[in-house]
Structure 1
Amino acid sequence: MLRNELNHYSPGEKLPSSRALVERFGVSPVTVSRALAVLAADGLVVTRPGAGAYRAETVAREKPVVDTSWQEIALTADDQGGERVVDASGLSANLAVPPPDVIAFNGGYLHASLQPERAMATALASAARRPGAWERPPLAGVTALRAWFARELGLTPAEVLISGGGQAALSTALRAVAPPGSAVLVESPTYPGVLAAARAAGLRPVPVPVDDGGVRLDLLQEVLAATGAKVFYCQPLFQNPTGAVLAPERRRELLEIVHAAGAFLVEDDWARHLGHGGPVPAPLVADDPHGSVVHLGSLTKATSPNLRVAALAARGPVLERLRAIQVVDSFFVPRPFQEATLDLVAALSWPRHLRSLAAGLRERRDAMVGALQRELPSLAPPRVPTGGHYLWLRLPAGTDETALTSAALRAGVAVSPGRGYFAAEAPAQHLRLGFADTSGAQEITEGVRRLATACAEVNL
């Protein structure tokens, strides 16, 4: 409203006082202050301490026409004639906040009702006031936080590096262990973020199929031999998107296969705190006798999308390369965030949060499975995951994923088409449905009902 009223003032003319604006619009002084700050940032208002706010002296400037067509070539081809592909469209679609009337089955983070908001606020406030909290941290991370991650992994703090979120850690890991232009083996299907990060680094993702027990080891051996790849990326626990857990009998063999090939195994342990109840297997890095595993662990998925604190763990010279890349990219993770994270996970409320989270995810998972069995029984998954955020649905042959996704959005529910989870041609059509970014069973039931309406629209 204040922006619209600026036309009533001449350039350089003084605006009413903050007190007058508070009375006129019936808002708080803080709201008026923020509004003036926004207008000042837009160059529409000039504030003078002790004198008030004035309409800015505006000077009409003709914008030059710039021909940027040359950038299509400069940004695409490198000196060797290769191509660099930086495509965040798949990630952006899942990160976008849907309109208020759309139910988010495409989200990858916790609904506000599942986040430990009070505990996070307390930890952040406490950490910010602590003496030394604003001092520069060690490059590898605050020692006590590294020790906390190390205890969970069965390693030492010296083998852990604090990183600014799981995606940043993943990009760092790929660049550390794979030379540009080389192949990176990935599970098929897999997390779209690894495909985007690999291609942005000039790497070539090569798929290795998974089944209910995780990666197919016979096929992994074949692809390692055929490609000469030196990196295999996998999610052994609650794999995104299938929810699969690496079978116990495959764990040791997987490590031996990767070591025999002289390769690294990048273990993305994003879902360690997302079990739905029951025991959770140890990370692969804890059982690695060769130093082949580069481990990624993040707290974001179990807390808030804004708590972007993760850890990289490795043994041997690769750890120094990981540290060097992170220093070049970002120097270090801000100390106040590290201190707040440490306070959060060390608090008595942390185990209670994890128990509450497990119950909340289990309730939402069961509500989605039950709603699918009632409304869309042909799509109900044959296997229910024991952890994670998602259900992976196989669609009938010939289904147009794009048409179904668009119809679902028109019906008021956002879903993720399966195509983006494959590094090459998809063997079948799928949908990924997320249940974590929902308020509970009632919203999930309504979302599945809307999805059923969309299926009927495309004759599914």
Structure 2
Amino acid sequence: MSDSSSAAALADILAEEIDAFPAGTRIETHRQLVRRFGVSATTVSQALALLIQRGLVVARPGAGTFRGETRPPARAGDTSWQEAALELTAHSDPAAGPARAFAATALQEALSTAGADVVDLNGGYLHPELQPLAALGAALSRAARRAGAWDRPPAGGTPELRDWFAADIGGGLGRHDVLVCGAGQSALATTLRALGRPGDPVVVESPTYPGTTAAAHAAGLRVVPVPLDGEGLRADRLDDALGRTRARLVVVQALHQNPTGISLSARRQREVLDSARRHGAFVVEDDFGRHLTHADSGATPPPMVADDPDGVVVHIRSLTKATSPNLRVGAVAARGPVMARLRAAQVVDAMFVPAPLQHTALEVVTAAGWRRALAALGSALANRRRVATAAVTATFGPGALAVHPRGGYHLWVTLPDHLDGRRLAAAALAKGIAVTPGENYYPTGSGTPHIRLSYVAAPAPADVDDAIRRLAPLITEE
């Protein structure tokens, strides 16, 4: 068993074991199950979710998973018919067009919840110790007291929040150039479906954020990877890819790229925009890390959309990474007729972002403490990065980090040639440390051996330091 398709089989095995346990018996931890069955944390999580659905176990946050109360057996059914019903027509009839794919294993792994006995160096959201919890609570309370808090908002977003996003992004954008959406992943998925047709090519960075690849495949798009260098997406390879494939979509993370941490240089930004203009392509700028800049970073370059009067750039920004995974509010910004297409797609996908959530987001970002909270976060991130960098250098050697980023929340660690990212991640999880295999970030599923280490999901810098250094025996064991 090695992937998410094994979850049902694992659930059946565990069900036989657990059925004999008395109610209230504590089930093995995620870490123990991963070690015993040699599967990923995602597979274990999915198997336990199936057992919870069956009523066989119950999860108690912070305590573990336990044998549930005995219930009368549910009536057995036959769901085998679904295999044929779920098979997309395109697989059996090529004339029907390209198939959409909902293979999001890498994205699901990024969202997997580490057990209480696991140090999380995988997650991409702030640990509660880093979240502005007091500000979020106060904002939610104020939003609930707003007149009309539960009224239906405009489909494009409340005017005040759109004004704030326009000012925050800059470049002379106005309210009508901004669409409020349900955070970055939702914005990315909507944008790719709106601007691409099934079968169209889309150029992406390699390596790249797994959510980009998953959104492209779900839209039926054909992914065309273009490599990076020290300045970001290679403009020469981009120009070749656009000319060869006639792609009309390019997705980039120009600032603190995930996973490498590279930021596009000003020169490279101009080259990418020039290439896109020559080929009549849109550049989708996923600016996920704008509010995750470290205190010691120096001046942060403006987004690509700020120097784009011709509407080449479709800009995506989110508040989620710098606040809480539950404040799922973001924006898409663009100039020209493309915005009408994006608004229509947003209505089809979600109709609108709930007004209470928009009001809460507005209360957060317009509060007197918002800038102070970002400054405090920038200092905390810089400290954690320094701790993580020192631990990586001591554990993996001085050449393990090609990039020392000054923003974001992760390090892209080069492994010795004899190591494999997936095997190392599995071995680390068995020792109580969750890391992300580098293979998850390559659109082709393979690349030079890496792991990505996140330093924001663990409780404290000391946990990050200790967990990274505990990986040392695994390097020599391999």
Residue aligned with 1:85, SS: coil
Q: Deviations over 1:260-296 (max 9, x none)?
A: 1011000000100001122111111110121111110
Shift of 1:456: 2.8
Q: Deviations over 1:356-414 (max 9, x none)?
A: 10011101100011112223325631431010011001112242222111111111111
Question: Does structure 1 conserve the Cα–Cα contact (< 8 Å) formed by 2:318 and 2:330?
Answer: yes
Distance in 2 separating the partners of 1:309 and 1:106 = 23
Kindly tell me: are residues 66 and 152 of structure 1, through their superposed partners in 2, closer, same or farther at Cα, counting changes over 3 Å? closer
Question: Does structure 1 conserve the Cα–Cα contact (< 8 Å) formed by 2:292 and 2:378?
Answer: yes
Could you tell me which residue of structure 1 aligns to residue 18 of structure 2?
Answer: none
Could you tell me which residue of structure 2 aligns to residue 163 of structure 1?
Answer: 181
Shift of 1:59: 8.6
State yes or no: 1:436 paired with 2:471. Answer: no
Distance in 1 separating the partners of 2:231 and 2:446 = 19
Superposition map of 1:285-364 within 5 A:
285-364=305-384
Kindly tell me: are residues 112 and 61 of structure 1, through their superposed partners in 2, closer, same or farther at Cα, counting changes over 3 Å? closer
Distance in 2 separating the partners of 1:428 and 1:286 = 34
Structure 1 residue runs of 4+, over 6 Å off?
58-61
Superposition map of 1:144-293 within 5 A:
144-154=160-170, 155-277=173-295, 278-293=298-313
Distance in 1 separating the partners of 2:375 and 2:289 = 14
Could you tell me which residue of structure 2 aligns to residue 128 of structure 1?
Answer: 144
Shift of 1:75: 6.7
Distance in 2 separating the partners of 1:236 and 1:72 = 37
Distance in 2 separating the partners of 1:184 and 1:297 = 20
Distance in 1 separating the partners of 2:445 and 2:349 = 33
**Structure 2 length as normaliser, TM-score?**
0.81
Residue aligned with 1:86, SS: coil
Shift of 1:316: 1.3
Q: How many pairs does the alignment contain?
A: 404
Residue aligned with 2:208, SS: coil
Shift of 1:72: 5.1
Kindly tell me: are residues 244 and 60 of structure 1, through their superposed partners in 2, closer, same or farther at Cα, counting changes over 3 Å? closer
Aligned residue among 118, 121, 129 for 1:113: 129
Could you tell me which residue of structure 1 aligns to residue 443 of structure 2?
Answer: 423
Question: Does structure 2 conserve the Cα–Cα contact (< 8 Å) formed by 1:76 and 1:85?
Answer: no
Kindly tell me: are residues 237 and 74 of structure 1, through their superposed partners in 2, closer, same or farther at Cα, counting changes over 3 Å? closer
Could you tell me which residue of structure 2 aligns to residue 65 of structure 1?
Answer: 78
Could you tell me which residue of structure 1 aligns to residue 115 of structure 2?
Answer: 99
Question: Does structure 2 conserve the Cα–Cα contact (< 8 Å) formed by 1:237 and 1:246?
Answer: yes
Residue aligned with 2:77, SS: coil
Question: Does structure 2 conserve the Cα–Cα contact (< 8 Å) formed by 1:368 and 1:435?
Answer: yes
Q: Deviations over 1:339-371 (max 9, x none)?
A: 110010000110111011001110110001111
- The one-letter code sitting in structure 1 at the alignment partner of 2:84 is W
Distance in 1 separating the partners of 2:231 and 2:372 = 30
Distance in 1 separating the partners of 2:404 and 2:88 = 48
Question: Does structure 2 conserve the Cα–Cα contact (< 8 Å) formed by 1:379 and 1:393?
Answer: no
Kindly tell me: are residues 356 and 70 of structure 1, through their superposed partners in 2, closer, same or farther at Cα, counting changes over 3 Å? same
Question: Does structure 2 conserve the Cα–Cα contact (< 8 Å) formed by 1:393 and 1:432?
Answer: yes
Residue aligned with 2:290, SS: coil
Residue aligned with 2:341, SS: helix
Identity %: 46
Q: Deviations over 1:432-452 (max 9, x none)?
A: 010111222210111112211
Shift of 1:177: 1.2
RMSD: 1.8
Question: Does structure 1 conserve the Cα–Cα contact (< 8 Å) formed by 2:396 and 2:415?
Answer: no
**Structure 1 length as normaliser, TM-score?**
0.84
Unmatched 5+ residue regions in structure 1?
Answer: 6-41, 43-57
Aligned residue among 434, 445, 449 for 2:465: 445
